[in-house]
Amino acid sequence: MLFFTNILVLLELNSPGHKTASLYETFTPEEAKKLWDKFEFVFTPQHGMNMTEIELNVLNSQCLNRRIDNIETIKEETKAWQDHRNNKNTKINWRFTTSDSRIKLKKLYPAINT
């Protein structure tokens, strides 16, 4: 489900890397605290980000690949797209075999002349 809130969710890979110092250097302590409280940090492993990137690319190519004039249309169409994907139980195919890698990463494999 797609939600719109006053909280900004930031996805970070692996361990926490954010620092509050930059906010306190730029704003007054009260303003910095107020801003900091609007952030929610979510730490995800690399493979989680890969899945997210794949899904966002699919969303972009299937749903958002044109100019859309207003946010309401984006919300409606994104929700419809998401419901359709969920109803189909769409999954990501993670198989990447050795033969696939030899084709995809051909330039990384040494050529052996016999």
Is 80 exceeded by the pLDDT of residue 55? Answer: yes
Is 60 exceeded by the pLDDT of residue 17? Answer: no
35/98 Cα distance (integer angstroms) = 48
Helix (H) or strand (E) holding 63: none
Averaged pLDDT for residues 49-58: 83
Q: Which residue has the higher pLDDT, 5 or 84?
A: 84
Do 59 and 71 belong together in one domain? Answer: yes
Average pLDDT, rounded, for the chain = 81
Count how many Cα atoms sit within 13 Å of the Cα of residue 8 in the half-sphere of its side chain: 8
Is 70 exceeded by the pLDDT of residue 47? Answer: no
Do 96 and 55 belong together in one domain? Answer: yes
Do 53 and 77 belong together in one domain? Answer: yes
Do 5 and 54 belong together in one domain? Answer: no
Do 100 and 52 belong together in one domain? Answer: yes
Q: Which domain holds residue 20?
A: 1-44
Do 60 and 105 belong together in one domain? Answer: yes
Do 90 and 105 belong together in one domain? Answer: yes
